[in-house]
Structure 1
């Protein structure tokens, strides 16, 4: 299945600055910071890489999942009710707070989006949304103030502050009814009021007063989530491991228009597609082949065309299968390749986008899964030196700790109230990998980063379980 959205290309650059979670999975409170934020740099001139490391069950995947749900909210989708399973069971409320930097015509807007969630009889609802902002222009920064505040329980108020509402109504008094209807529709469908389709159409119009800059901000954030934010969760790798399908994350741009989503190709049988999807698949394969043969020498992906075949609706279609071709060898179905190669193919178009576009933020859970350690290190080194976008990843492979800067690594802790930290007392000459392993065994950081296990107890438990399995 292809999830496609048509989008315009040119707009301000939006980049994630930080992300704070409250009561999401096992994170009661935790914040990650992008490297430029740590270094107090307001720039979109070069790559930002952030790796999140820690022991199993310590909150790494919570970051990826939170960004996935945040993306859905910011493109106006209905709230995913699986969020109920992600909310901490000790609380009926949760919060995701994302800070963004928006670069536009020499001005940098620091924008904060706070999404508050509540559990009401096993249904999760958006209880509050706020947008706040500060403006940096010619070396002068304004104070950060809230310019949009929606609260579900304040039924007599459309949104606050009143000044911003008055600016919208200034040009058209009749639009007040539309805003009230849009609010009711958002609450009924359980989607964002700020980014929901009905209200967004109002907020993102051309204004000739003070609301114009806020209109551009809301529009830019929505388009960032739609067009530039890629979130590749564990489920993406799971279907590859099961050898069922190959989901290829992609973004294609043609004639000032573009398509973005996942092109899912069956690994068990050829696929049947219409002409539009056939052309899209050919374009994706063409793009990834430019890079693929340099990562895995001599490897190319080809499309085997079995010819025309009627679709279920009677229209003309094509029967296609993805193949793997290596120099001097016969083509084989792509499913016959290793899981690591299929994983690389599945994320390669998204990696290409993050490499060349400063607006793209690519988030990958367990990036190292199935990928050879040395190759992983090479990719980190190439991105560090030459890429332009943002790359956020979780990993268990420690190779990145030797390849990227200390500001680009955060570690999960055993403290659910302070879940993510930077390693302290790291000098330029230190090997971060060695420091991390030493901190696991000896401590010395501001928070404990590993919940100690007892090898003797583990061995004893294995022996006891083994005796039980044999019926002794």
Structure 2
């Protein structure tokens, strides 16, 4: 399945509170925010520079932002995030609740909407009593028609509320009875509300979203209440957008790539009797042959075509193909027909499995389809943690420069390599601070003639910004620490000189 219509979605802001080591912080896509005020008419999305980078010292809160996007995708797709280790200790230590607020812009023909989705996260002990996970405490959704200056009822869902009639909202004009279009205490009302309450209980017990539950959306969309119907339609659109047009690549993907499991993020076009477009995350065994559903052969063939186009631009002459290994056969559970295939690099007289390539090449392969999507689709959003890991410095700068100048979609990345500071506008870079109350800032007093990389170095050394950007570490301190460590080491192994 693939979500595509004439509407355009953009993420405009992400706010965090009490998430990991971030007491308060926000990331704003400034140029997408300008679209709220843009004149009606066709928008040239290639002229909008929505490539944002986050820089800062280790452990300063960069990955926290990336994980909020991963969490959003899991919530919307109905996945249980409770067992995902990346969300262990996700709520800041000694905080009762963590908050994340996501703001979106929806452009639909001649109408613009603001969509706001906010969640409260509660820390909860896992079974082993040593690890703290998270669960949803509440969900809030706001919709505003900016063009026609119209606000819709606020949907506010509490996981533990006992008030049946305020199941969706505390608004007196948006009670459960009015949404369901039935008299309170009637059998029809009781049956429908009972089903929804059971659904809510099941969702939250299994660490899933009730707002994005299909039963909730159908209830809203089928309502005789016009505001409920519109809210249901917009939330459904948002669900499809996040599911199919947001691509997250984090350090988990890097780890999988290292052990040879890997994924392809992106969209593949398949033509049978009728055109089908498939979007999402697809496994790719890069340590040798791997099994796929036989019906997905054309999907992978299309991915290989995309890989060859994009990666050849990064690595001149690169060419890969997939080869079938053996014959189609039933899967281990006996439900589907599968076939083993192997990804092989075939350029320059090579005949090498992709498993023999470096992690950097594998990473570019994994990202190639998603990069095509974000380059050509104004609703696509690519998130990459540690984009520089395994990627040649000059190539990293070239990729980000091209995306910043010409991509229709949005990109958010973190990096330690400072080359992007030389190719991106300083307004496209956030820097972490040592102040957890104001974790993300942009540099100020930067002149057009300044080299941002040098300017950042100077700010690290002598300050001059609104916030301190790092806890200073001196070479002498590092050296002294190593000497002290050596003294302890000698006590364990006395013959160390």
**SS class of match (1:326):** coil
Q: Is the 8 A contact 1:51 1:393 kept in 2?
A: yes
CA distance in 2, matches of 1:452, 1:27: 19
The structure-2 alpha-carbon separation of the partners of 1:250 and 1:466, relative to structure 1 and needing over 3 Å to count, comes to same
**SS class of match (2:174):** helix
Among candidates 207, 211, 215, match of residue 198 of structure 1: 215
Matched with 2:109 is 105
**SS class of match (1:241):** helix
The structure-2 alpha-carbon separation of the partners of 1:104 and 1:458, relative to structure 1 and needing over 3 Å to count, comes to same
Among candidates 134, 155, 166, match of residue 144 of structure 2: 134
Matched with 2:342 is 321
Q: CA deviation at 1:235?
A: 0.8
Matched with 2:160 is 153
**SS class of match (2:198):** helix
The structure-2 alpha-carbon separation of the partners of 1:408 and 1:41, relative to structure 1 and needing over 3 Å to count, comes to farther
Matched with 1:447 is 467
Among candidates 72, 76, 79, match of residue 77 of structure 1: 79
Matched with 2:362 is 342
Matched with 1:251 is 267
CA distance in 1, matches of 2:425, 2:178: 45
Q: CA deviation at 1:407?
A: 2.2
Among candidates 5, 9, 15, match of residue 10 of structure 2: 15
The size of the alignment, in residue pairs, is: 462
CA distance in 2, matches of 1:111, 1:120: 29
Q: Deviations over 1:379-409 (max 9, x none)?
A: 1121122110010000111111111222211
Higher mean C-alpha deviation, range 194-203 or range 305-314: 305-314
The structure-2 alpha-carbon separation of the partners of 1:257 and 1:213, relative to structure 1 and needing over 3 Å to count, comes to farther
Q: CA deviation at 1:196?
A: 1.9
Superposition pairs of residues 8-407 of structure 1, within 5 angstroms:
8-10=3-5, 12-36=7-31, 42=37, 45-46=44-45, 47=48, 48-81=50-83, 82=85, 83-122=87-126, 124-137=134-147, 141-142=149-150, 147-156=154-163, 157-160=166-169, 161-165=171-175, 167-170=178-181, 174=189, 175-205=192-222, 209-242=226-259, 244-254=260-270, 257-311=276-330, 312=332, 313=334, 317-327=338-348, 329-407=349-427
The structure-2 alpha-carbon separation of the partners of 1:437 and 1:462, relative to structure 1 and needing over 3 Å to count, comes to same
CA distance in 1, matches of 2:180, 2:383: 39
Q: Is the 8 A contact 1:8 1:256 kept in 2?
A: no
**SS class of match (1:51):** strand
Instruction: Give the structure-1-normalised TM-score.
Output: 0.91
The structure-2 alpha-carbon separation of the partners of 1:257 and 1:146, relative to structure 1 and needing over 3 Å to count, comes to farther
CA distance in 1, matches of 2:391, 2:222: 46
Q: CA deviation at 1:339?
A: 1.8
Q: CA RMSD in A?
A: 2.4
Q: Is the 8 A contact 1:107 1:136 kept in 2?
A: yes
Higher mean C-alpha deviation, range 334-343 or range 116-125: 116-125
Q: Is the 8 A contact 1:76 1:197 kept in 2?
A: no
**SS class of match (2:173):** helix
**SS class of match (1:103):** strand
The structure-2 alpha-carbon separation of the partners of 1:40 and 1:440, relative to structure 1 and needing over 3 Å to count, comes to farther
The structure-2 alpha-carbon separation of the partners of 1:352 and 1:7, relative to structure 1 and needing over 3 Å to count, comes to closer
